[in-house]
Amino acid sequence: MNNTTYSVKKSEIESKWYIIDAEDRPLGRVATETAKLLRGKHKPTYTPNLDVGDHVIIINCGKVALTGKKLDQKVYRHHSGYIGGMKEITARDLLNKNPEKMMMLAVKGMLPHNSLGRQMLKKLRVYAGSEHENAAQKPEVWNF
């Protein structure tokens, strides 16, 4: 009986392209599915210490849904580094101004907070509308 765990090698990693339509879907549901694809957890060859994930394209993130009162109550904060430099923007304003950033922040929070997570985030493309420039990669539609 062989009790060794198989670990995928870097040369054996194959990555595909998937496209996710975020129109009228909750932000968190789209983000969790995207993070799963970027990490590679949907594959039988998943290895936690390697980037075995796929490339993901998210379209229509300008039409993403936020449940409850999140549009007015959810606040995105960051600091400029200067005294009194706390910047705040509500979810409604961020969705109108920069919907791609809202989706990127949601997915980024669900990936590992280290160099591996930053490497995975580079394989994410987010578009506010239905047009994208990655048709040459022949992405498959991911339904969930």
Q: Domains in the chain, start-ordered, CATH in brackets?
A: 15-67+99-141 (3.90.1180.10)
What burial letters (b/e) apply to 12-48, b meaning 16+ CB within 10 Å? eeeeebbbbbbeebebbebbebbbbbbbbeebeeebe
What percent of the chain is predicted at pLDDT more than 90? Answer: 88
Give the residue among 123, 77, 126, 69 at the shortest CA–CA distance from 99.
Answer: 126
Q: Is pLDDT of 1 > 70?
A: no
What is the pLDDT averaged over residues 39-62? 94
Q: Is pLDDT of 6 > 90?
A: no
Question: Residue 121 burial (CB < 10 Å; 0-12/13-18/19+)?
Answer: middle
**pTM for the whole thing?**
0.90
Q: Which two tokens stand for residue 90?
A: 């509500």
- In sequence order, what E strands does the chain have? 17-21, 55-59, 75-79, 86-90, 124-126, 140-141
Q: Is pLDDT of 23 > 70?
A: yes
Structural contact between residues 54 and 120, judged by C-beta atoms closer than 8 angstroms = no
